[in-house]
Structure 1
Amino acid sequence: MNKTDRMLAIVIELQRKGVLRAEDLAARFETSIRTIYRDMQALSEAGVPVSGAPGTGYSLMEGYFLPPVSFTADEAVSLLVGADFVELRLDAVYGAKARSSQEKIEAILPENVREETARVRSVIRLLNERAARTRGQEKETFEQLREAILQKRKIHFRYSKTLPEPDGNRHSERTADPYGLVFSQGAWVLIAFCGLRRDIRHFRLSRMKELVVLEERFEVLPGFRLQDHQSADDRHVIVRMLVDPAVADRIQEADNFYMESFEPGKEGWLATFRVRRIEELLQWTLGWGAAVRVLEPESLRERMREEIEKMLEHY
């Protein structure tokens, strides 16, 4: 980064953060503290109202605001495509804000940058093919959860699991404290403290039904930060399968969530998975037919035999 770009970036950073020490700026822009001192002197000489207090840091004079900066075509594309994603994946309120943001960004772009941006965007497309079936309900759920999270209000909902619990039930009633929303593995997930399990749990929005935002409020557990949160990995069952080379590419493209490794061998490709329960891979494995052979555990091999025998009864 040259000196001019760095000085502009320093002003933007001060505008964003308020007060920053020379050490913070040096670390941010990967330069020396002495260089930051010189940059501050140059900014002051250029008329930018920068003030510095020993032991506190630098700040911009109250009321100063940097005029809108110009975007390169790539920067504009990043913002506009990001707005497309927001419109597709978030609720109607943010969808409208995303469209408004796009219009404002496009309005301030120089004509040559706007034309280049339009050309680049013309070869990028975000698909939302599930909209007709589930996205409408999921967006409504997202909007309700967003408000509940911001207002710190408890929620009640009916939740469906892909596999039944040990008692045979797939559906349960939950009351929870919603902490945050995460987009993971192509789906929105709610991170919440579950009153039933008395612990932090993850809930896919697509499986949440009859959501009600309650009047009762909650407090986030001390020390919890959504940005630092990592779910406990309770996938302790190791599954190994031998894959016919003829379908190896297709299995790689399928990108199974539970797959840990996929390596070539003498008889075929060896796929290793980690799951909570063997049932999580049962239907997926059956779907590949004779092209996939379970090596271990024996419990999954037995379940495969049982399912195949049931299938034979139908044919």
Structure 2
Amino acid sequence: MANLLPSSIDNLELYRPFSKIRLIAVDLDGTLLESNESELPEKILSFANKFKNSNIKIIIATGRTLSGAEHLIAKLPIKNGTPIILYNGSVIIKKKYKYGKDCQILKKYKPIHQEKISNESMIRVVQISSKFRVKVIAYCCKWFGEDDFEEHAIGWSSVDKPYKEYNFMPVKWLEWSEIDKSISPSAVVIHTLGNTQVMADISKSLKGIADISFTHGSTYIEVKPINCNKGEALKIVANILGLTREQILGIGDNDNDAEMLSWSGIGVSVETASEEAKKCSDYVARRGVLDGAIEALKTVIHARRYKEELNKL
């Protein structure tokens, strides 16, 4: 069972693991953001800036696409060259901002890693979904050399067909019978509109596809390449940065954070997290969305302050 985060200096030894942290991987939705929020609260921006000049890196590990996360990433003290985990681990990019004419910032992202769902499996996902009243959106990435990439979304729907989806990307809508044989997305979301029976029926059929994995939200099923998750992505990031597990702290709230929380040297779930996330965590914050994440960040800062005293123990 996960412990509560240390809250007293009476036992400095509790802070020792936190004093080793060099990388903090934090989820966005449900951890830093409420479900109805589109902008990061000033409270977290102000607090995160305390790490701006430290030797501790903050990285984002999100299920969002770059289109959906870029405006948030730009406001956080994420250093140039720092990896960013997107699509719940299917895509990893590196922030690579440059200055152009008139000191204008040119936003570039260097691709590091990508996993894809095979076209054959994608076709089966669409065929299974076509039997139900659902909406399916496939998220694809195309690399352009070493400096940039393009995202696009392709959809099939028995319900509404909005011009843009949750991540602000325009969607190219196709008929259920239209499945391009070149489509190999990094993630697919099946919106079941809260119908639990439909979710159960589709999930049962998806289990027959060997090279995919999937997780559930309250109103959707997310399909990813097999063995693809935030934990596996974090291993890649750790290797790139030359860090060990003990130097990494993960903060999350949902089932799709479970592998990241489990693999991190210290996994912290916010108080409002799912049972699966809490089960995979070492610690649980006393507070929920945003404040729970800040509580974890404060613990790291306190541990750094107490490091000299800890070395004497």
TM-score tier (shorter): under 0.3
What TM-score, normalized to structure 1?
Answer: 0.26
Decide which structure has greater helix share.
1
- The structure having more radius of gyration, on CA atoms, is 1
